[in-house]
Structure 1
Amino acid sequence: MEQIVLDIKKALGGNDDFFIKRDYLLKKEVLLLGLSTLVDMTKTKTILQKQSEGLISQGKTSESIFILMGELFEDDTKKAITSVLEGKLIIYIEHTKKFIIYEPVPKGLNRSIEVPSNESVIQGPSNSFTEDIDTNIGLLRKQLTSNKLLVHSFTTGKNQKTKISLLFINGLVDKELVENINSLIEKNKSMDISNLQSMSKMLGFSSWDTVSKFNTTELPFHASQFLKKGRVVILVDQLPFALILPNLLWDMFIVESDRNFPFPIMITISCLRVIGALIALISPGMYVALVAVNPEALQIELALSVAQSREGVPYPALVEVIIMLVVLELILEASIRLPKSVGPTITMVGGIILGQAVVEAKLVSNLLIIILAATTIANSTLVGAQSSLSIRSFKYINVILSSLFGVLGLVVGLVFISSYLASLTTFGKSYLYLNIGRKEQ
């Protein structure tokens, strides 16, 4: 064997699915190198044979046929190893130090396009992204048949090669935004990308931000609408969702499928989501403030009713609220992680039986159960899992400040949260910015 083949074998020979097969193609001795778990060799060899016979019948020479079959390289071991790991077939022409990177028939490892599992769609396209990045790009091109939709692709990672694609509409996107993202990806191409935390690190985002810099969606339709607004879409191989940059506050209240409804209904739905966010942020803290610090703010009848509901509860309102909030968080996490056949049962047990039991045991008040149920429902009205998690974490700030300073502490908490959100920027775009779309030039 020649040196380049020995080098490839040394790098990949420890894998049981790596193969080197000697064959004849166009009356020349060749070596076929690849991974049997990624390449369907039976179908690939049949297609290779038919392809070569067809080109010979057209009067092509052996050299020109090899060039037409794929990209021709000479003495580039690193490129050959990378191509094998990506699922390509290496056709090495013996005694020439040249090889062809051939696109074989792949094994059927990708799932088909399905309905989204984490986003509900009402009156809109319901196909969702898959783990295959090329399929995802195709889905977006299907939604946007425009020659101004540009795709820039990168291969990143030192130990794990990952393909990343940047999509934007030329003329609508901020060019400085695209240049910044391009330069950061090029600068950090050696980083291994497998999740949003590593992607955030690649783009220079802080690891301690409570609010995600990315708006994520499983729906090509939503991603295409963000592109039309001048946003940038990032697709990462093996991640079945799109990353939208920059993420804005209003994205948690407005979803593109709402535009399939009449305008007054669309506005009403968006207002309900705003109300839901306020209820999720304010109601637990308001309960603590009015029960523990400022009961005089209540009417006497309501104050007596609240006091009666808390009769026999052995600890302060802050402890009562924190315990129940943690229990609710546990129920939510359990319902997400458990199999779908068991999740609803756990939710019912936690929400009904456990709630009734703690009230009858006089561990919490009836009023608190009502408030936390309303908080959980209101939190679920927001668009996007990342936004929902942020609001779930912010409400604890209001609860603690309300237990110390009452209604004043609740107001201070809201001001603090508003100031924090106003301070967030993504590549120079404020989180509170209304519209980053640009007029087409």
Structure 2
Amino acid sequence: MEEDFIVSSSKNNHNDTSQPTSNSTKHLLNPSLAQNIKTIKRAVGNSNDIIIREILIGKSEKQPIAIVYTDGLADKTAITDFIMESLMLDFDEPFESKSEAVNQYLKDTCLPVGDVKDIGDFPTLFNSILNGETVILLDGVTKGIATSTKSSKDRAITEPSTESVIRGPKESFTETLRTNTALIRRKIKNPNLWIKSRVIGKVTQTDIAVMYINGIANEKIVKEVLNRLDSIDIDSILESGYIEALIQDSKYTIFPTIYNSERPDVISAELLEGKVAIFVDGTPFVLIVPALLTSFLQSSEDYYQNFIISSLIRFLRFFGISISLIVPSLYVSITTFHQEMLPTAMLISLASQREGVPFPAFVEALIMEIAFEILREAGLRMPRTIGPAVSIVGTLVIGQAAVEAGIVSAVMVIIVALTAICSFLFPAYGLSNTIRVLRFPLMFLAAGFGLFGVIIGVMALILHLCSLRSFGVPYMSPFAPIIPDDQKDALVLFPRGSLLTRPRLVSKSNTIRGHKHLKNENNN
């Protein structure tokens, strides 16, 4: 059936989409132009956005051809000025006498466009027109011509919405793949910046680009990334989160083992560290592998200001993650089992506040944490004009009303507010979500076993982190294993002149920064 042409192409159409795959050999183009047009219309269900324009070319002997493109994806101006006008005015050769070489003749003399290639089967034809290209079909020829006429309409490059900085570039990625790769090319002007292309998704046929710096990136990691991408068998890829879930090392961990960012300067810095970037068409978030825990606690702004200030801010982030994770469970365990640890004055103050509270400390903390998470999610999902106002007013009103009603104590409202504020210290939103979730099991352990439960939970958490890998690289590096040279850019930030080495476990072929150490390889 012709309807199967769209989904019958190879799921891993690597670099050249013009080559027919093993599945497409049954669906070669027909010499008859009328039959090809009939097949296209039947396969797309006569969809009115698939434009098929039949024209006649040649001045002495008129010959029929068809121009096929997708309305909205292809640039109509380019089609009119550089394809239709050129074919209708410039082609003046006997068609029959050179039917075997007519494609090459058109490409050499009549098509003033950049990217031109031959296509010989229907799967490649549909891939081309659904990617914004224009296909030219000729009567009596079993090969068509695909020309690059993709529309340049896309979202403008704006300021990042999730990774804002005070000092640094104010540009972010868009939903267009080639715009995103161009932003990296503008920052890293080096021929060793290589891109490997993939097409994943049997139905969506989503374009994927794997970018790395040859000579700096670990070749084993690059090969592993490509192998994992090639092993994906799925019908649709709508966002980079699909790729992240399918290629990560451990699928049953709550910690993100693949880093993502919408900032070109962050991705460029990671590439220069020897890591590999994965671009997905249709999303502004780019994936970076391998990912380390320290990457989620570092901001691009750390490198744009004084290293002493940046180090203090990093200490603040590590302190914030501790507060956000364990303070509610510490409150529950101390007030429930270990009151003797508190000073007498503080104990009397807490007891007086909790005098009318009908719930134990654990239930009190659970109610407030769940209420705040509901308010936060509601604020995110509401329209931007009223979302922040509703979340702030709702938090204040509910907190004050709960204290006055005697449902919770005032100190519990303070603790929940403090942990919530600390959860916003992380530059990476994914790690913030992880900490939000982990607070609850630690609170359960604190309610059941006191401080012993909290200690057991923290130890189990550390052991779990030490067991994680991201494309073979230890997740807790450079803390476990301890790598002294990499400590210069981990918990603290050393002066720029001291950062002369790349992470040892990430980049093994070129660990010294400097142009003279970069391989100048031009292998194809």
TM range, smaller chain: over 0.9
Q: CA deviation at 1:65?
A: 4.3
Asked whether 1:7 is paired with 2:42, we answer no
Q: Answer whether contact 2:296 2:431 (CA < 8 A) is retained.
A: yes
Q: CA deviation at 1:337?
A: 1.2
Asked whether 1:21 is paired with 2:65, we answer no
Which residue is equivalent to 1:384?
A: 428
Q: CA deviation at 1:104?
A: 2.0
Deviations 1:262-283 (A, max 9, x none): 1110100100000000000111
Which residue is equivalent to 2:489?
A: none
Q: Given the alignment, which residue of 242, 246, 261 partners 2:305?
A: 261
Q: 1:265 to 1:74 in 2, by over 3 A?
A: closer
Which residue is equivalent to 2:70?
A: 35
Asked whether 1:310 is paired with 2:350, we answer no
Q: Answer whether contact 2:292 2:476 (CA < 8 A) is retained.
A: yes
Q: Answer whether contact 1:44 1:105 (CA < 8 A) is retained.
A: no
Mapping 1:73-112, distance limit 5 Å: 73=118, 75-104=120-149, 106=151, 108=153, 110-112=154-156
Q: What amino acid does structure 2 have at the position aligned with 1:243?
A: L
Q: What amino acid does structure 2 have at the position aligned with 1:272?
A: L
Q: Given the alignment, which residue of 418, 435, 438 partners 2:462?
A: 418
Q: CA deviation at 1:14?
A: 3.2
Which structure has more helix as a fraction of its residues? 1
Q: Answer whether contact 1:4 1:97 (CA < 8 A) is retained.
A: no
Q: CA deviation at 1:437?
A: 3.6
Q: Answer whether contact 2:201 2:233 (CA < 8 A) is retained.
A: yes
Q: Answer whether contact 1:254 1:383 (CA < 8 A) is retained.
A: yes
| Partner Cα distance (2:146, 2:402) in 1 | 66
SS of alignment partner, residue 153 of structure 1? strand
Q: What amino acid does structure 1 have at the position aligned with 2:407?
A: L
Show structure 1 runs of 4+ deviating over 6 A: 53-57
Which residue is equivalent to 1:176?
A: 220
Q: 1:26 to 1:274 in 2, by over 3 A?
A: farther
Mapping 1:289-368, distance limit 5 Å: 289-368=333-412
SS of alignment partner, residue 422 of structure 1? helix
| Partner Cα distance (2:211, 2:311) in 1 | 30
Asked whether 1:66 is paired with 2:110, we answer no
Q: What amino acid does structure 2 have at the position aligned with 1:7?
A: T
Q: CA deviation at 1:333?
A: 0.9
Q: What amino acid does structure 1 have at the position aligned with 2:51?
A: F
| Partner Cα distance (2:404, 2:426) in 1 | 32
Deviates more, 1:64-73 or 1:211-220: 64-73
Q: 1:182 to 1:43 in 2, by over 3 A?
A: closer
Which residue is equivalent to 1:372?
A: 416
Report the number of matched residues. 437
Q: 1:322 to 1:153 in 2, by over 3 A?
A: same
Which residue is equivalent to 2:79?
A: 44
Q: Given the alignment, which residue of 173, 198, 217 partners 1:154?
A: 198
| Partner Cα distance (1:250, 1:375) in 2 | 20
Q: Answer whether contact 1:26 1:62 (CA < 8 A) is retained.
A: no
Q: 1:284 to 1:74 in 2, by over 3 A?
A: closer
Q: Answer whether contact 1:200 1:206 (CA < 8 A) is retained.
A: no
Q: CA deviation at 1:188?
A: 2.1
Report percent identity of matched pairs: 29
| Partner Cα distance (1:237, 1:113) in 2 | 15
Q: Answer whether contact 1:34 1:87 (CA < 8 A) is retained.
A: yes
RMSD over equivalenced CA pairs, Å: 2.1
Q: 1:102 to 1:180 in 2, by over 3 A?
A: same
